[in-house]
Each structure stands twice: as C-alpha cells, then as structure tokens.
Structure 1
C-alpha cells in the first residue's frame, strides 16, 4: 500500500523522523507538500472557509487543503493509500495490519489512531480483521487509510464546507468508515500519555496562529450561520448515537502493545525514497 506523507518544507526534523519510519518498515512512500497560509487556495477570504461551525485559523484551512491534496493523489493512484501527517508514530504491527485490509471490500476509510477521546464504534468487531465500524469520531487526522471511493466523498464534502481536516473526515457520514482496534498510530504529542517512545520533541503547527476571537468581525447573519451549523452538527451526532444504542458504544480505543524505538540522527528531508 502506498504511503502519502503530508509535510511542510520547513519541518525538516519531522520529515527526517517520518523517513526513518518508512525505512524501518520498508514502505513505498511519497511526500505531499503541505499547503501553508501563504500558498492556500482558495485564499482565506473565500466563502468556503467560512461555512464551518466556527471561525477557522488559517493554519486549519491550510491543513484541510493539504489533506485534500492527498485525497486527489489517491484518485490519481486509483488505489487505497495510507495518509500520514508528519507527526504520526507508527506501531510495530502496522505492516501486517495494512496487508490484512488492503483488499477488504466495503471499507472506504480506516482511522488508525487514538487520541484520548472515546469513539462511537460497533460493539462487535469485524470478523476477519482487527477493525470496528466507526460511527462517530471527533479528533485525529494524522493516520488513516482511504480508498478512491472514500477520497471522492471527502473531496466533495470539503469543497462545499471547508473545515478542520479531522472534522471533515468525521462528518462525512456517507463514507464507510472503520477504526483500527487496537490503534496502529498516535501523534507525537500523545507519546507520553500512552508510554510510547518519542523520537523528537513536537509543537503544534496549528496553534502557531492564534484562535480567532469569537465571532469578532463577522456580520450578524454569518454569526447566526456558525451557531446554527454548530447546533445542527451536535444534533446529528446525538442522533447517530441514539440510533445505534444497541449495536454501537462509545469506547476508548487502546493503542497497540508494541512500538519500535526510532531515533533520528540526521535531518534528511528529501522527498521520496
């Protein structure tokens, strides 16, 4: 399975870490140039970025656009791909997991990560592979498998309502989404919480831009739109839980037991192995 790594050119330490993981696992991979606020298309003023449930940081817009670039690449390759942000830490068993799901029918997206929040997943796991139907996620877009069919649905959703990448994925309800259980990836900032070796220090590239002051500078009509969409999204999530009360439950997905210790000694951020 091809691996697509979203990386900002300036983040050489992260790219070196990801390249080290790719060499360790022997993955076939390529780098996706991350969109930055300076290269964001459409620009931040475009209406598509103001149709979410709240005002977005320009860095959130850029990350969403970066994932959209990865989804378009999935369509070009016309095959399932593993999409990674450049702070994803990968479990030792990931190659075997990917092999087991590579040709699995009826699956369009598999979240590989866990991040300390419960997810609404099927009570009964898949009979053949260690995944569960994922009915509602809330956070995390650092590591997932997506098929061309899933990529089309994600692009269609994001093109009309630009939002945080993880929220776009979580709210694409017409996509057949699953959760790896146990989780096969976490982000670097979760290593301490889960007792996983952390190769490099990390800081959030989203948080380098301050969160927009609540509704400041927006018209009354646009502020109403944000609030209405927020309320409707909460109602949809609540209904999904109620409708699946007998077949799904909210649970914390535990991470896999084994994680390789990969330490970066050189900063080689060149594109593709």
Structure 2
C-alpha cells in the first residue's frame, strides 16, 4: 500500500522526516501538495465554508481541501492508500498491517491514530486483523487508510458542507470505519505523552490561528444556524453512542510498543 503524504511547500524539514520514515519502513509514497488559504478553491467566502457548527479558520479550510486532494487521488488510483499528514509517526509493524488491510473487503476507512482521547469501538476485535469497528471518533486525521469507496463518500459529503478534516471524517457515519488496536500512529506533538522519542520539533499551523467568533460578520440568523448545527451534531453523536452500547466500549486506544529510529543522517 502506498502512502500519500500531505505537505506544505515550506515544510521541508517535515518532508525530510517523512522521506526518512518511508525509507525505514519500506513504504512507497507520493507527496500531496498541501493547499494554503491563498490557494484555496473555492475561495474562503464561498458558502461551502460556512455550513459547519462554527466559523472555520482559514487554515482548517485549507487542511480539509488538502485531504480532499488526497481523497481524489485514492479514487483516481482505485486502490486503498495510507493518507498521512506530514507530522505523523508510524509504528514498526505498520507495513505488515497495511498489507493485510489492503487484502480485506468490507472496509472504507481505518484510523491508525491515537491522540489522548477516548474512542467508541467494538468490544470484539476484527476476526483476522488487529482492528476494531470504530463507531465514534472525535479528533485526529493525521494517519488513516482510505479505500476508494470511502474516498467517494467523503468527497460527496465535502462537496456540500465543509468541516475540519477530522470532523469531516468522524461525522461521515456512512463510512465503514475501523480503528487500529493498538494504534499504529501518533503525531509529533504527542510523543512526550506516549514516551516515543520525538525526532523533530513541531508547532501546529492550525492552532496558531485563533478561532473566528460566530459574531464576526455573521447575521443573527447565521449565528442561530451555527448553534442549531452544533446541537444537531451532538444529538446525532449521542444517539449513535447509545444505540451501540450493547456492542461497543469507550476506551483510550493504546499505542503500539515499537517505533522506528528516525534520526536523520548527518
């Protein structure tokens, strides 16, 4: 399975890290040039970008558009791919698990990531793979496997309503989603939390931009629509959790134990 790595032109240090990681793990890969707020299509004032639960940062819009570029590549290639943000770290056993996932039917999406937040997953693991059915995620789009069937579902949803990339994925309930257990990926900013050596210092370009207030340029009607969408999303999430109680559990997915040495050569 090849990897599609989302990378900003200016983030050459992260690209070097990913080149090293793909070399160490023996994963074929291709770079997906990340969208920036300046190159965003449609532009930031298009109605598409104003249909979520709150106003989106320009960086969140650009990140979703970057993921959509990768989703389109999955459809074009017509094969499952590993999609990575350029600050994702992968466990040693990732290539073996990827090969097994690629040969399995009935999957749209597999999250490889854990991020200090509980997820709702099936009590019983998959019969042949180290994955569990994923019923509700809340955060994280740094590392996941996407099949063409899943890519088409995500592109269809993103065409009429934008959201932060992790919310766009976790909120697409038509996806047949699974979770790697143990998790095979973390982001660089989670290294200390999980005791994994951090090969590169990092700072989030998303969080560096403050969230725009709903009162900033939005009419009272649009502000009420934001609130209504937020309440509706919480109700759907709550119902999904309650309806899966007999077969699901809310757990913190542990990370894998072995991580490669990604020290860049001198």
In which range does the TM-score fall when normalised by the shorter chain? over 0.9
1:137 alignment counterpart: 137
Q: Structure 1, residues 158-206: CA drift from partner, whole Å, max 9, x if none? A: 1111110000000010010000000000000000000011100000011
Is residue 157 from structure 1 mapped to residue 196 from structure 2 by the alignment?
Answer: no
State the superposition RMSD in angstroms.
Answer: 0.8
TM-score normalised by length of structure 2: 0.98
Partners of 1:264 and 1:154 in 2: CA distance: 35
Quote the offset at 1:210 in angstroms: 2.0
Task: Find the residue that maps to 2:159 and give its secondary structure.
Answer: helix
Is residue 175 from structure 1 mapped to residue 209 from structure 2 by the alignment?
Answer: no
1:121 alignment counterpart: 121
Is residue 27 from structure 1 mapped to residue 27 from structure 2 by the alignment?
Answer: yes
Runs of 4+ off more than 3 Å: none
Q: Is the 8 A contact 1:200 1:264 kept in 2?
A: no
1:185 alignment counterpart: 185
Q: Structure 1, residues 120-175: CA drift from partner, whole Å, max 9, x if none? A: 10011101000000000000000000000000000011111111000000001001
Q: Is the 8 A contact 2:214 2:223 kept in 1?
A: no
Q: Is the 8 A contact 1:55 1:215 kept in 2?
A: no
Partners of 1:140 and 1:46 in 2: CA distance: 25
Partners of 1:159 and 1:214 in 2: CA distance: 22
TM-score normalised by length of structure 1: 0.96
Partners of 1:265 and 1:205 in 2: CA distance: 26
Partners of 1:243 and 1:213 in 2: CA distance: 34
2:208 alignment counterpart: 208
Task: Find the residue that maps to 2:10 and give its secondary structure.
Answer: coil
Partners of 2:241 and 2:39 in 1: CA distance: 39
Quote the offset at 1:214 in angstroms: 3.8
Alignment of 1:1-273 (within 5 A): 1-265=1-265
1:270 alignment counterpart: none
Q: Is the 8 A contact 2:150 2:175 kept in 1?
A: yes
Quote the offset at 1:76 in angstroms: 0.7
Quote the offset at 1:27 in angstroms: 1.1
Partners of 1:84 and 1:179 in 2: CA distance: 15
Equivalenced residue count is 266
Partners of 2:215 and 2:235 in 1: CA distance: 22
Task: Find the residue that maps to 1:16 and give its secondary structure.
Answer: helix
